[in-house]
């Protein structure tokens, strides 16, 4: 069987967790392929809201294997907290959750280094979630990292000590004022590692290869969004992994020829958390309403998200890079009651009108050009069927489908599993 792929097309927080949860019934395996606890995948059902950071979003389904892939970076301390928060739901975690031996570990000193590096950047800071993501991927590409599989080797503590000591001298180099008690952090870390070690470690690429041979259905779950991709995002204001389709191949060991559907998730408007350019950002009552009604606060850090109109230039770019075959539009309900809606269809860039995402989209280079559309008044949150979608929303959807040349198959009208319209 082929592998389907689900990823975010904007700056993250598109609602991937909810859609993975909705789609999980169609899959035997849900596999996270990159990122780490910087992600906050939110799922809501039976009146309860769950936020997952490392664990794949299929975990609430009894017969689904949830795989943490080699491209993911794991903080055992956060992983342990996630496991604890799930323990009351009667999920057989030991059976349904497996971890790639090739996934890298986030050490306590990676988190400290993240904080020291950000502090040293002053106003130019990335706005990182400070979960140690950047320093851990740096150690991975620098060939210094510690992987889950190392925990099964005898000498890994020696390797750990050498790396942690090196990190401490790097923190000194930043002249950072951050205060820390490393031995306290390490006690917590080593205790959490014991919990992690009680789970099944696998050679995940082999596991997935066999699963495909046996005809199992697999959904690869992305984290963050395409515009935060280390290569194709708004560098340097990005995360440190490949959040785009290619990341699923390297983050799971799945061949490009095995990828079938690519589900691209986007919000009916745009949000961004952290620093970096955002051409369609709003500083008026429309943006304020999006943030308030959409409850736009980071699921991991609680920071308010910046809000703005939908940017089709950026969205088209993400659709192309990922080869999206089906789109899913989230949070249309948040725009109910807007008298007008704007969609950015091109940029004015260095005196010219362009329709592609240029190298630099800083405010001084780019002015968005908008198409204005009528808003919808209806409350969408109780709708369950495509026939109930108001005409003005259908017009919005048709306009986007024409521009993006990909069908919008799901319209999400609220955070709950049930608030999902299939088209």
CA distance 246 to 306: 28
- To which H or E segment does residue 125 belong? none
Q: Out of 129, 176, 212, 345, name the contact with ligand IMP by CB under 6 A.
A: 129
3-state secondary structure 308-375: ECEEHHHHHHHHHHHCCCEEEEECHHHHCCCCEEEEEEEEEECCEEECCCCCCCCCCCEEEEEEEEEC
Positive or negative, the CA dihedral 14, 387, 26, 264 is negative
Does 131 contact ligand IMP by CB under 6 A?
yes
Q: Out of 24, 212, 224, 345, name the contact with ligand IMP by CB under 6 A.
A: 224
Does 239 contact ligand IMP by CB under 6 A?
yes
Look up 41 and say whether it is catalytic: yes
Residue linked to tokens 């304020």: 288
Does 307 contact ligand IMP by CB under 6 A?
no
The one catalytic residue in 4, 21, 28, 41 is 41
In this structure, are residues 330 and 266 in contact, taking their beta carbons and an 8 Å threshold? Answer: yes
Q: How far is the CB of 271 from ligand IMP (least distance, A)?
A: 8
Residues 6+ apart with CB under 8 A from 165: none
- Choose the binding region for ligand IMP from 55-63, 64-72, 268-276, 309-317 (rule: CB under 6 A): 268-276
**How many positions of this chain bind ligand IMP (CB under 6 A)?**
21
Look up 13 and say whether it is catalytic: yes
Instruction: Using the minimum distance from each CB to ligand IMP, give the nearer residue, 274 or 415.
Output: 274
Instruction: Using the minimum distance from each CB to ligand IMP, give the nearer residue, 35 or 287.
Output: 35
If one counts every other C-beta atom within 10 angstroms of the C-beta of residue 382, the result is 12
Does 52 contact ligand IMP by CB under 6 A?
no
Q: How far is the CB of 26 from ligand IMP (least distance, A)?
A: 24
Q: Which two tokens stand for residue 376?
A: 């919808």
Q: How far is the CB of 92 from ligand IMP (least distance, A)?
A: 27
C-alpha distances in angstroms, 271 versus 59, 178, 253?
27, 30, 31
The one catalytic residue in 13, 114, 139, 333 is 13
Does 39 contact ligand IMP by CB under 6 A?
yes
Does 57 contact ligand IMP by CB under 6 A?
no
CA distance 357 to 349: 10
Does 32 contact ligand IMP by CB under 6 A?
no
Does 134 contact ligand IMP by CB under 6 A?
yes
List of residues contacting ligand IMP (CB under 6 A):
11-13, 38-40, 126-129, 131, 133-134, 223-224, 228, 237, 239, 273-275
């Amino acid at each position: 069987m082929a592998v389907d792929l689900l990823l975010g097309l904007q700056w993250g927080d598109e609602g991937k967790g909810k859609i993975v949860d909705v789609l999980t019934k169609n899959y035997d395996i849900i596999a996270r392929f990159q990122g780490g606890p910087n992600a906050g995948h939110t799922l809501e059902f039976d009146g309860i809201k769950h936020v997952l950071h490392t664990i794949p979003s299929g975990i609430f389904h009894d017969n689904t294997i949830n795989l943490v892939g080699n491209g993911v970076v794991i903080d055992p301390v956060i992983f342990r907290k996630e496991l604890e928060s799930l323990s009351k739901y009667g999920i057989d975690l030991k059976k349904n959750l497996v971890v790639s031996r090739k996934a890298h570990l986030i050490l306590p000193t990676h988190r400290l280094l993240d904080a020291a590096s950000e502090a040293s950047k002053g106003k130019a800071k990335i706005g990182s979630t400070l979960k140690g993501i950047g320093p851990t991927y740096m150690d991975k590409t620098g060939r210094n990292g510690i992987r889950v599989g190392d925990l099964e080797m005898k000498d890994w503590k020696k390797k750990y000590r050498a790396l942690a000591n090196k990190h401490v001298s790097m923190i000194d180099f930043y002249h950072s004022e951050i205060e820390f008690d490393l031995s306290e952090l390490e006690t917590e870390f080593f205790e959490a590692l014991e919990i992690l070690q009680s789970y099944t470690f696998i050679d995940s690429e082999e596991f997935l290869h066999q699963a495909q041979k046996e005809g199992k259905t697999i959904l690869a779950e992305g984290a963050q969004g395409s515009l935060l991709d280390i290569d194709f995002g708004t560098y340097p204001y990005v995360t440190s992994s490949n959040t785009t389709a290619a990341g699923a191949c390297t983050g799971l060991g799945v061949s490009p020829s095995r990828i079938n559907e690519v589900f691209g998730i986007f919000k009916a408007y745009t949000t961004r958390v952290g620093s970096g350019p955002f051409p369609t950002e709003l500083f008026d009552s429309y943006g304020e309403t999006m943030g308030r009604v959409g409850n736009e606060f980071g699921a991991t850090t609680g920071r308010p998200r910046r809000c703005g109109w939908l940017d089709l230039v950026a969205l088209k770019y993400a659709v192309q890079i990922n080869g999206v075959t089906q789109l899913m539009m989230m949070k249309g309900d948040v725009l109910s009651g807007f008298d007008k809606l704007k969609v950015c269809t091109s940029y004015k860039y260095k005196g010219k009108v362009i329709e592609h995402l240029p190298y630099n989209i800083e405010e001084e280079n780019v002015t968005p050009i908008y198409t204005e559309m009528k808003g919808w008044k209806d409350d969408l949150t109780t709708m369950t069927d495509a026939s109930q979608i108001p005409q003005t929303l259908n017009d919005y959807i048709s306009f986007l489908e024409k521009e993006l040349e990909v069908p919008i198959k799901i319209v999400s009208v609220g955070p709950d599993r049930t608030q999902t319209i299939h088209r």
